[in-house]
Structure 1
Amino acid sequence: MMQTPKGTLIALGGGDDDGLISLIRSELCSVDSHIEVITTATLEPMESGQAYKEAFEELGCSSVRFMHIDEDNEADKPDNLARIAKAEVIFFTGGNQLRLKEFLGGTQLHQLMQRRYLEEEITIAGTSAGAAAMSDRMIYEGYGSYSLMKGEVKTTDGLSFIQNVFIDTHFTERGRFGRLAHAVTKRPQFIGIGLGEETGIIIKGGNHVEVFGTGVVTIMDGAHVRYSNLDEVDEGDPIAIENLTMHLLVEGHEYCLSDRAFRKLSQQKKSTSPKV
């Protein structure tokens, strides 16, 4: 039986992330909480890190730092390990999620994050690439109508804070329906979660997915697919799928991963949900 994580995951679909920062500050940490911003995904780490530091500080947070891990800055420096060991919030910026896999995946620092997420009540948050990399598999390629051609959608290992989920970002704005449908059909044990911009999810206990923000979260479930031609057609040919299940969630709704169930939150719970 898999261990139920004590930590909380927050994933934003990209776009303006002021609401995400306000949510973290108002709901999940105090002004004294240690916040570490991981800028590995971006090619402008100093600018991005400083901007997030200032954004959290404007809300009163007094202990915000950022670290950049890349080919010139190894993950497992003693100072990095010490900082992540006491962080109460770990925030991954946007950029290119493949950089997170390349420079962070499998390191001692990564393993420390995973262990703390399982065993402690910490928050791991991310936007855009930082959200897409949270699961054990992440989509990194597949564009527009081409994503409905066999072989055009690429996935690889993610950071594995949660299993059997694909998180796709900028979902409606960049027309990523096809690639999430393709990925879920190829791996029906996975649930696809498509996040629109300025819209995100809070995952508690590795299971309950609650929506926040102004847009729509798309859930794709391939467990009941009766037929697809993925095993029959050649690379580059269009794919056919029968009975792929889809749900659209907005704020005030949640999805339970374990029983693949859509739920409307009670009015009482909605009233305490963060507004972003």
Structure 2
Amino acid sequence: MQVPKGTLIALGGGDDDGLISLIRSELCSIDSNIEVITTATLEPMESGQAYKEAFEELGCNSVRFMHIDEDNEADKPEYLSRIAQAEVIFFTGGNQLRLKEFLAGSQLHQLMQRRYREEEITIAGTSAGAAAMSDRMIYEGYGYHSLQKGEVKTTHGLGFIQNVFIDTHFTERGRFGRLAHAVTKRPQFVGVGLGEETGIIIKNGNHIEVFGNGVVTIMDGSHVRYSNLEEVDEGQPIAIENLTMHLLVEGHEYCLSDRYFRKLSQQKRKTSSKT
């Protein structure tokens, strides 16, 4: 499988000043073309303008936003041209199902995927924009109900990365159960739960590094010895044996392919921050 040249950045929601500063300080110059995609939100003008101003306050001078929905199709020649020249693509929060509905399968979406594979582009997102990055995304499952069979719903995402569930607002909204449920149902997937104001940088489609003040939860279902998912009826509680979990904070990394956890050395952290 081709190793992607692009970088993914996913934030768990909340205050995203740290994410914007990270993009500006480490991943783009003041002249980089930044495109903000506001499709997930129902307040596209307000959200787009707010992000444009936030990047401009840090010195960026080429920031635009586009809203793609039922009235603004993805494959407008103008949008295709702008995404072809973008060095940073940023997805706002909102409802991740809107990203699937209005973007998935379009020429614009395919262009983003190709550029992520073949070029050193940065694709970032917060909340819904982060949750939609993988080939499948969680969109439903609440509280204790999420540990009942059938209560957690997943669907196709934007497919920049494979076999990963990214869940956001993870600790703040009690989403442990739904990520555990999703990973148990699809043990080839790694579950990544992002707390607010906390995120991950994914390089080479494989190495996860944490930034922010909170915790990133990793769930690995590859060693599950038993679950009753195939035995119980819809709505019944589920049992899981030997689900592996890791808690990462800034200064730690996780390798998706080998499924290992590691604390970064000071030298590695310094080197990583420059790449």
Question: Fold match, TM over 0.5?
Answer: yes
Could you tell me which amino acid in structure 2 is paired with residue 144 of structure 1?
G
- Shift of residue 271 of structure 1? 4.1
Q: What stretches of structure 2 of length at least 5 have no aligned partner?
A: none
- Shift of residue 270 of structure 1? 2.7
CA distance in 2, matches of 1:132, 1:156: 11
CA distance in 2, matches of 1:176, 1:112: 32
CA distance in 1, matches of 2:29, 2:268: 22
Q: Which residue of 2 aligns with 1:206?
A: 205
Work out whether 1:105 is the aligned partner of 2:93.
no
Q: SS at the partner of 1:211?
A: strand
Deviations 1:38-86 (A, max 9, x none): 0000000000000000000000000000000000000000000000000
Q: Which residue of 1 aligns with 2:72?
A: 73
Q: What stretches of structure 1 of length at least 5 have no aligned partner?
A: none
CA distance in 2, matches of 1:88, 1:179: 34
With the length of structure 2 as denominator, give the TM-score of the two structures.
0.98
Q: SS at the partner of 1:197?
A: coil
With the length of structure 1 as denominator, give the TM-score of the two structures.
0.98
- Shift of residue 225 of structure 1? 0.1
Give 1:149-228 correspondences, 5 Å limit.
149-228=148-227
Work out whether 1:15 is the aligned partner of 2:14.
yes
Give 1:1-276 correspondences, 5 Å limit.
2-271=1-270
- Shift of residue 268 of structure 1? 1.5
Could you tell me which amino acid in structure 1 is paired with residue 69 of structure 2?
D
Could you tell me which amino acid in structure 2 is paired with residue 114 of structure 1?
Q
Q: SS at the partner of 1:62?
A: coil
- Shift of residue 272 of structure 1? 5.5
CA distance in 1, matches of 2:124, 2:271: 20
RMSD: 0.7
- Shift of residue 267 of structure 1? 1.3
Could you tell me which amino acid in structure 2 is paired with residue 32 of structure 1?
D
Deviations 1:102-141 (A, max 9, x none): 0000000000000000000000000000000000000000
Could you tell me which amino acid in structure 1 is paired with residue 206 of structure 2?
N
CA distance in 2, matches of 1:175, 1:271: 34
Q: SS at the partner of 2:137?
A: strand
Could you tell me which amino acid in structure 1 is paired with residue 86 of structure 2?
A
